[in-house]
């Protein structure tokens, strides 16, 4: 029995019971794959269920307000995925009459869809022979064949791409792709892989050379850039002031507080000066929060929240900020960082 056959046989005995595996509907498979980009299954599953209940078909997703989609997405991070999801839904609903493209090359053209996602949708929904290549697959192949080429280099990606497509079971491409990903997640784990009970251990080159824990090889990324964000938390008895972010960044169209961003931690004197320059001097700093640390792919954010009380809430610059009733906060999409703070302040459930 060859590598692919062993993987598929293992999968039939050990596969996880997941809702998107019980359908060939490309819409539902697409939703699952976009959610699972940068997200583990146990975290993504509740979001998938919420999306399918709220938007059971692509037309309902296309017609939805982006604010509602972002709110459903809240907590998953990488919000461009949600915006791209909405954009693509509208494109398919209007330009393609709701018919999801079947061919890999056409799926790849959809906004927010990369090579892995296109291969997954093409194979799972349409049984097209395109191999998936994600972290689990990299790990299984690098260990089985004892490959030391770094997986996050162009040469490494090319080498593994050719190998993965060579190994693909063209009769059952969808099943094979699901199998090798589950195998990497459940059996050939990053740490503590169960090598002694592995169906591949006889021919696994890294196991037989006791090298499996050193693979896959990955070049270390550059050190994350530190960013300091100081938020101005302004409220009265009924309202909270929130900004809608319009910048082209990861939190576009989410809501947060007015803020200043620095590469070095500012002093209280500098914070006071910034508030004065923006809103005048008729305010008082009530308190400052603890420092909240929030990790992004290339940045590490250190955030503080300054509760500010204004003598006059009719300040011209304050009028530009949206006043939101505390009871309505639950309907506004906010970054996870803001959500943590509001939960700590017991202002949102």
Which of these, 190, 174, 157, lies nearest to 40 by C-alpha position?
A: 190
Per DSSP, helices labelled H in 280-345 are 336-344
Burial classification of residue 217, based on how many CB atoms lie within 10 Å of its CB (0-12 exposed, 13-18 middle, 19 or more buried): middle
Residue 33 bears catalytic tag: yes
Task: Check: CB of residue 34 under 8 Å from CB of residue 92.
Answer: no
Alpha-helical regions (H) of 55-134: 58-63, 66-73, 80-95, 104-108, 115-126
The dihedral region occupied by 168, where left means phi > 0, alpha psi between -120 and 50, and beta the remainder, is: beta
Count CB neighbours of 81 within 10 A: 18
Nearest-angstrom CA–CA distance, 341 and 348: 9
Catalytic: which of 9, 33, 54, 345? 33
Catalytic residues: 33
């Amino acid at each position: 029995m060859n590598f692919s056959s062993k993987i598929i046989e293992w999968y039939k005995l050990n596969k996880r019971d997941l809702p998107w595996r019980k359908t060939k509907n490309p819409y539902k498979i697409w939703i699952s794959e976009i959610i699972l980009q940068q997200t583990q299954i146990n975290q993504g599953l509740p979001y998938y269920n919420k999306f399918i209940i709220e938007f059971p078909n692509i037309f309902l997703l296309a017609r939805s307000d982006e604010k509602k989609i972002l709110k459903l997405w809240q907590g998953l991070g990488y919000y461009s995925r949600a915006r791209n999801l909405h954009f693509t839904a509208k494109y398919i609903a209007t330009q393609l009459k709701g018919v999801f493209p079947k061919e890999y090359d056409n799926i790849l053209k959809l906004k927010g869809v990369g090579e892995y996602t296109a291969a997954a949708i093409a194979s799972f929904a349409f049984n097209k022979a395109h191999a998936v290549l994600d972290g689990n697959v990299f790990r299984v192949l690098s260990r089985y064949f004892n490959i030391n080429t770094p997986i996050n280099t162009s040469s490494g990606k090319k080498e593994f791409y050719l190998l993965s497509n060579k190994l693909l079971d063209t009769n059952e491409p969808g099943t094979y792709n699901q199998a090798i990903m589950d195998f990497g997640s459940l059996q050939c784990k990053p740490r503590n892989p169960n090598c002694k009970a592995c169906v591949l251990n006889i021919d696994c080159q890294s196991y037989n050379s006791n090298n499996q824990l050193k693979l896959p090889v990955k070049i270390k990324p550059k050190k994350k850039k530190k960013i300091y964000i100081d938020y101005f938390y302004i409220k009265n008895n009924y309202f909270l002031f929130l900004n809608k972010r319009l910048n082209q960044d990861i939190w576009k169209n989410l809501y947060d507080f007015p803020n200043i961003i620095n590469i070095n931690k500012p002093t209280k004197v500098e914070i006071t000066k910034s508030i004065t320059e923006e809103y005048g001097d008729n305010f008082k700093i009530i308190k400052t929060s603890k420092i909240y640390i929030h990790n992004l792919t290339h940045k590490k954010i250190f955030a503080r929240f300054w509760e500010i009380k204004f003598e006059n809430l009719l300040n011209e610059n304050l009028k530009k900020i949206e006043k939101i009733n505390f009871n309505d906060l639950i309907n506004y999409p906010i970054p996870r960082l803001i959500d943590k703070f509001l939960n700590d302040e017991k202002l949102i459930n």
